[in-house]
Amino acid sequence: MTEAAAAVPARRPRGRPRKPPEAQDEGNRRQELLHAAARLFRQKGFAATTTRDIAAAAGMRSGSPFYHFENKAALLFAVMEQGMRAALQIQATALQAVPPEAAPDARLRTLVRAHFDVLLGAGSDFIPVMLYEWRSLSAAQRAGIARLQRQYEDAWADTLQALAAAGRVQADAHIARLMMLGALNWSVQWYKPKKGASLDDLCDQAMQLFAPQRRPR
Protein backbone atom coordinates (compact mmCIF):
# COMPACT_ATOMS: atom_id res chain seq x y z
CA MET A 1 0.00 0.00 0.00
CA THR A 2 2.92 2.31 -0.35
CA GLU A 3 2.31 2.95 -3.99
CA ALA A 4 -0.94 4.92 -3.91
CA ALA A 5 -4.13 5.54 -1.96
CA ALA A 6 -7.15 4.25 -3.81
CA ALA A 7 -9.22 7.35 -3.11
CA VAL A 8 -6.73 9.68 -4.75
CA PRO A 9 -7.63 10.13 -8.39
CA ALA A 10 -4.90 9.09 -10.77
CA ARG A 11 -2.65 11.95 -11.69
CA ARG A 12 -2.73 13.13 -15.23
CA PRO A 13 0.35 12.32 -17.30
CA ARG A 14 2.68 14.59 -15.34
CA GLY A 15 1.83 18.15 -16.32
CA ARG A 16 1.17 19.57 -19.73
CA PRO A 17 3.58 19.11 -22.59
CA ARG A 18 6.56 21.38 -22.19
CA LYS A 19 7.66 23.77 -24.81
CA PRO A 20 11.25 23.49 -26.06
CA PRO A 21 13.42 25.53 -23.69
CA GLU A 22 14.25 28.38 -26.06
CA ALA A 23 10.54 29.17 -26.29
CA GLN A 24 10.26 29.62 -22.54
CA ASP A 25 12.32 32.77 -22.17
CA GLU A 26 10.91 35.67 -20.24
CA GLY A 27 8.79 37.70 -22.61
CA ASN A 28 8.34 34.99 -25.20
CA ARG A 29 5.03 33.82 -23.87
CA ARG A 30 3.78 37.36 -24.07
CA GLN A 31 4.89 37.52 -27.68
CA GLU A 32 3.23 34.21 -28.42
CA LEU A 33 0.01 35.58 -27.00
CA LEU A 34 0.33 38.73 -29.09
CA HIS A 35 0.89 36.81 -32.29
CA ALA A 36 -1.96 34.43 -31.58
CA ALA A 37 -4.22 37.35 -30.73
CA ALA A 38 -3.28 39.25 -33.88
CA ARG A 39 -3.97 36.25 -36.06
CA LEU A 40 -7.33 35.53 -34.44
CA PHE A 41 -8.43 39.15 -34.21
CA ARG A 42 -7.76 39.49 -37.90
CA GLN A 43 -9.45 36.27 -38.85
CA LYS A 44 -12.56 36.47 -36.68
CA GLY A 45 -12.60 39.98 -35.32
CA PHE A 46 -11.97 41.20 -31.80
CA ALA A 47 -15.42 40.62 -30.34
CA ALA A 48 -15.79 37.18 -31.89
CA THR A 49 -12.44 36.01 -30.55
CA THR A 50 -12.52 34.67 -27.02
CA THR A 51 -9.65 34.91 -24.61
CA ARG A 52 -9.96 31.14 -24.49
CA ASP A 53 -9.25 30.97 -28.22
CA ILE A 54 -6.14 33.02 -27.73
CA ALA A 55 -4.98 31.03 -24.74
CA ALA A 56 -5.43 27.75 -26.61
CA ALA A 57 -3.55 29.07 -29.64
CA ALA A 58 -0.66 29.97 -27.35
CA GLY A 59 -0.82 26.60 -25.57
CA MET A 60 -2.18 27.96 -22.31
CA ARG A 61 -5.22 27.46 -20.10
CA SER A 62 -8.11 29.84 -20.20
CA GLY A 63 -7.10 32.01 -17.27
CA SER A 64 -3.47 32.44 -18.18
CA PRO A 65 -3.62 35.33 -20.66
CA PHE A 66 -4.66 37.51 -17.72
CA TYR A 67 -1.32 36.89 -16.13
CA HIS A 68 0.29 38.72 -19.07
CA PHE A 69 -2.41 41.25 -19.93
CA GLU A 70 -4.82 43.04 -17.67
CA ASN A 71 -7.78 42.30 -19.88
CA LYS A 72 -8.84 41.55 -23.42
CA ALA A 73 -8.84 45.20 -24.41
CA ALA A 74 -5.21 45.54 -23.37
CA LEU A 75 -4.35 42.68 -25.70
CA LEU A 76 -5.97 44.48 -28.60
CA PHE A 77 -4.15 47.68 -27.80
CA ALA A 78 -0.83 45.88 -27.52
CA VAL A 79 -1.34 44.26 -30.93
CA MET A 80 -1.96 47.61 -32.56
CA GLU A 81 0.82 49.39 -30.73
CA GLN A 82 3.38 46.77 -31.60
CA GLY A 83 2.17 46.84 -35.19
CA MET A 84 2.60 50.58 -35.43
CA ARG A 85 6.03 50.54 -33.83
CA ALA A 86 7.18 47.96 -36.33
CA ALA A 87 5.65 50.00 -39.15
CA LEU A 88 7.48 53.13 -38.06
CA GLN A 89 10.72 51.23 -38.02
CA ILE A 90 10.21 49.74 -41.46
CA GLN A 91 9.37 53.16 -42.84
CA ALA A 92 12.31 54.90 -41.19
CA THR A 93 14.75 52.28 -42.35
CA ALA A 94 13.49 52.53 -45.90
CA LEU A 95 13.69 56.31 -45.94
CA GLN A 96 17.28 56.23 -44.77
CA ALA A 97 18.21 54.72 -48.11
CA VAL A 98 16.83 57.62 -50.14
CA PRO A 99 18.65 60.96 -49.84
CA PRO A 100 16.51 63.94 -48.84
CA GLU A 101 17.47 65.74 -52.03
CA ALA A 102 16.16 62.89 -54.16
CA ALA A 103 13.24 63.53 -56.46
CA PRO A 104 9.91 63.32 -54.64
CA ASP A 105 9.00 60.49 -56.99
CA ALA A 106 11.75 58.38 -55.52
CA ARG A 107 10.60 59.24 -52.03
CA LEU A 108 7.02 58.30 -52.84
CA ARG A 109 8.13 55.00 -54.31
CA THR A 110 10.03 54.26 -51.15
CA LEU A 111 7.01 55.07 -49.00
CA VAL A 112 4.73 52.91 -51.13
CA ARG A 113 7.13 50.00 -51.06
CA ALA A 114 7.60 50.24 -47.32
CA HIS A 115 3.85 50.42 -46.84
CA PHE A 116 3.33 47.20 -48.74
CA ASP A 117 5.88 45.61 -46.46
CA VAL A 118 4.00 46.93 -43.46
CA LEU A 119 0.67 45.65 -44.74
CA LEU A 120 1.58 42.42 -46.46
CA GLY A 121 5.05 41.47 -45.27
CA ALA A 122 5.96 38.74 -42.83
CA GLY A 123 3.98 38.65 -39.61
CA SER A 124 1.48 40.94 -41.22
CA ASP A 125 -1.54 40.52 -38.98
CA PHE A 126 -0.90 43.42 -36.66
CA ILE A 127 -1.63 46.31 -38.99
CA PRO A 128 -4.69 44.69 -40.58
CA VAL A 129 -6.09 44.33 -37.07
CA MET A 130 -5.52 48.03 -36.58
CA LEU A 131 -7.24 48.85 -39.85
CA TYR A 132 -10.21 46.65 -38.98
CA GLU A 133 -10.71 47.05 -35.28
CA TRP A 134 -10.41 50.77 -34.69
CA ARG A 135 -13.96 50.90 -33.40
CA SER A 136 -13.16 48.29 -30.76
CA LEU A 137 -10.74 50.64 -29.01
CA SER A 138 -11.68 52.90 -26.15
CA ALA A 139 -11.25 56.63 -26.64
CA ALA A 140 -8.05 56.65 -24.60
CA GLN A 141 -6.62 53.76 -26.57
CA ARG A 142 -7.46 55.46 -29.84
CA ALA A 143 -5.56 58.52 -28.81
CA GLY A 144 -2.49 56.43 -28.14
CA ILE A 145 -2.53 54.69 -31.49
CA ALA A 146 -3.47 57.86 -33.35
CA ARG A 147 -0.26 59.46 -32.11
CA LEU A 148 1.78 56.76 -33.81
CA GLN A 149 -0.34 56.95 -36.92
CA ARG A 150 0.24 60.67 -37.23
CA GLN A 151 3.94 60.08 -37.04
CA TYR A 152 3.71 57.50 -39.79
CA GLU A 153 1.60 59.68 -42.05
CA ASP A 154 3.72 62.77 -41.61
CA ALA A 155 6.36 61.20 -43.78
CA TRP A 156 3.75 60.97 -46.52
CA ALA A 157 2.53 64.51 -46.11
CA ASP A 158 5.88 66.10 -46.87
CA THR A 159 6.45 64.02 -49.96
CA LEU A 160 2.97 64.62 -51.31
CA GLN A 161 3.28 68.35 -50.79
CA ALA A 162 6.45 68.26 -52.87
CA LEU A 163 4.79 66.19 -55.59
CA ALA A 164 1.79 68.49 -55.71
CA ALA A 165 4.01 71.56 -55.84
CA ALA A 166 5.94 70.01 -58.73
CA GLY A 167 2.71 69.21 -60.55
CA ARG A 168 3.52 65.50 -60.49
CA VAL A 169 0.31 64.85 -58.60
CA GLN A 170 -2.62 67.02 -59.48
CA ALA A 171 -4.95 66.20 -56.60
CA ASP A 172 -4.83 68.09 -53.34
CA ALA A 173 -1.98 66.73 -51.22
CA HIS A 174 -4.18 65.90 -48.25
CA ILE A 175 -6.82 64.07 -50.27
CA ALA A 176 -4.14 62.38 -52.32
CA ARG A 177 -2.61 60.97 -49.16
CA LEU A 178 -5.94 59.63 -47.96
CA MET A 179 -6.74 58.06 -51.29
CA MET A 180 -3.31 56.57 -51.86
CA LEU A 181 -3.17 55.05 -48.40
CA GLY A 182 -6.70 53.77 -48.90
CA ALA A 183 -5.76 52.14 -52.18
CA LEU A 184 -2.81 50.44 -50.52
CA ASN A 185 -4.62 49.53 -47.31
CA TRP A 186 -7.34 47.83 -49.33
CA SER A 187 -4.76 45.35 -50.58
CA VAL A 188 -5.02 43.46 -47.30
CA GLN A 189 -8.44 42.42 -48.54
CA TRP A 190 -7.37 40.89 -51.81
CA TYR A 191 -3.63 40.26 -51.87
CA LYS A 192 -2.62 36.64 -51.72
CA PRO A 193 1.13 36.06 -51.52
CA LYS A 194 2.61 33.25 -53.56
CA LYS A 195 -0.09 33.80 -56.12
CA GLY A 196 0.42 36.45 -58.71
CA ALA A 197 2.17 39.73 -58.13
CA SER A 198 5.11 40.32 -55.80
CA LEU A 199 5.23 43.34 -53.54
CA ASP A 200 7.62 44.96 -55.99
CA ASP A 201 5.09 44.42 -58.76
CA LEU A 202 2.37 45.97 -56.67
CA CYS A 203 4.58 48.94 -55.94
CA ASP A 204 5.23 49.43 -59.66
CA GLN A 205 1.55 49.30 -60.42
CA ALA A 206 0.69 51.74 -57.67
CA MET A 207 3.28 54.20 -58.91
CA GLN A 208 1.98 53.95 -62.45
CA LEU A 209 -1.49 54.69 -61.20
CA PHE A 210 -0.69 57.55 -58.84
CA ALA A 211 2.29 59.24 -60.46
CA PRO A 212 2.76 57.81 -63.94
CA GLN A 213 5.95 58.46 -65.82
CA ARG A 214 5.40 61.10 -68.42
CA ARG A 215 5.44 59.51 -71.80
CA PRO A 216 8.38 60.25 -74.11
CA ARG A 217 7.25 62.90 -76.53
**Which residues contact DNA (rule: CB under 7 A)?**
12, 16, 24, 29-30, 49-52, 55, 59-64, 66-68, 70-73
Residue pair 159/107 in contact (Cβ under 8 Å)? The answer is: yes
Least distance CB 15 / DNA (angstroms): 8
Report the C-alpha gap between 50 and 40 in whole angstroms.
9
Main-chain dihedrals φ then ψ at residue 174, nearest 5 degrees: -70, -45
Torsion of CA 62, 64, 68, 70, to 10 degrees: 60
Closest to DNA by CB, 71 vs 205, is 71
Closest to DNA by CB, 23 vs 165, is 23
62 binds, among DNA, a second copy, none (CB under 5 to 8 A by kind): DNA
Report the C-alpha gap between 80 and 133 in whole angstroms.
9
29 binds, among a second copy, DNA, none (CB under 5 to 8 A by kind): DNA
The residues of the shown chain that bind a second copy, judged by CB under 8 A, are: 43-48, 132, 134-136, 167, 169-172, 175-176, 178-187, 189-190, 197, 202, 205-206, 208-210, 212-213, 215
Residue pair 162/176 in contact (Cβ under 8 Å)? The answer is: no
Torsion of CA 137, 186, 201, 179, to 10 degrees: -100
Q: What share of the chain is helix, strand, coil (3-state, %, to 5)?
A: 65, 0, 35
Least distance CB 181 / a second copy (angstroms): 7
Closest to DNA by CB, 44 vs 85, is 44
Closest to a second copy by CB, 69 vs 210, is 210
Closest to DNA by CB, 58 vs 211, is 58
